[in-house]
Structure 1
Amino acid sequence: MNVYPFIEAEQAGKHNVERACELLQLSRSAYYQHARGEQSTRDRVDAQLTEQIIAVHTASNGTYGAPRIHAELAAAGHRHGRKRIARRMRVAGVAGKSPRRWKTTTIPDPNAGSRPDLVERDFAVDPGAIDTRWCGDITYINTWEGWLYLATVIDLASRRVVGWAVADHLKTDLVDAALTDALARRRPADGLIFHSDRGCQAMPAKPSQSRRTDLLLEQQ
């Protein structure tokens, strides 16, 4: 961040330049060099450091962040703090990339039977069709204690989450708990369609014993 305008404003308001420099962690000599149109030693070092950072970042195909760039520069004999390198990266608009942790939650079952598309690919918002078409899915959350799975039930007409459940497993009980929660909250009329994918989480699906008989289930 360029701190010189802040100090200039303090000076223009006849405030204490020394105190402003102290708060912004800048030497008075550096500020007065800037005021005279001269480049301070720190500015020159920062400019050189930024060039080195960009060179290392480019050589890594844009993947290296501050820790790895710091290690590369240290190995080359450049002694700069990691926080300083991180600051110069932010100023230069340079950032590293880290691989996203991925967890497969839906595995299509090739032996699953085909079901009719009861919603007919109609996922449009419709205020007049509340609690007539629901859809469900499972996502995952990485916690300190391991993977936590979240099953949700969403009303297609309003996009509102009408039911949910969490567990540390991907058994059918998780989806059943989310559906039970949605039914208890909304009390929909007969003829409701529940739409989901055909995912099989590497385990045999078990029929739910508590599902309402008037709930038209669809696996699509």
Structure 2
Amino acid sequence: KITHQLIQSGWKVSLKRVQRLMRELGIHSIIRKKYRPASNHEKVESRENLLKQDFSTTSINQKWSADITYIHTQKEGWTYLASVMDLYSRKIIGYSYGKQMTTSIVVNAFQQAMQNQQLKDGKGLILQTDLGTQYTSYEFENLLLQYHINHSYSRKGTPYDNSGIESFHATLKKEEVYLKHYKNFDDARLALFQYINGWYNRERIHGNINYLTPQQAEDQAKMLA
């Protein structure tokens, strides 16, 4: 990614030269141990997985991915981030941050995604989530029905069924959360806003979308529509 960014900035460099210079300067990827919450041993009813790990798309607003992750703060302890990603652009199109892992945060994240994408009807759209109680709740399921959105569920214990959003949350942890000590909820909320809207969506390039930023990929899709 550094090589591509240097070339886009007008530098004539090769991948091997960039790798050599990175080694000399001590620049390397951030690797941190992932926090794993306690396992839930309650029996979970399986539901239909419509995507079956087929994340291919031809434009935006065809397949979305949603999930919740944990963010630690010094004052409030564990807090929770619910995110929604468009699998075409890899853009985070909606998110909600809360002190409790309730249905309301996934509802708020979804409604923000609908508003940001200016969708009044989601007919033909598939939303992939896990089997968490927030996503299988009556309130959330009924909301999807109102917008005519097809709900696809990951199999229990199979994160690859929702790898897009899982990858985003892992990246968020490595590049932002694990490098900071948030004093409180508001401190973390500001940092998450700056990372998602200021860096991830608008500045961070992705290899699987031809080294574009998510915002650039979305803008191109709108131009071709």
TM bin (shorter chain): 0.3 to 0.5
Quick one: higher RCO (CA 8 Å, sep 6+), 1 or 2? 2
When normalised by structure 1's length, the TM-score is 0.46
When normalised by structure 2's length, the TM-score is 0.45
Which structure is larger by alpha-carbon Rg, 1 or 2? Answer: 1
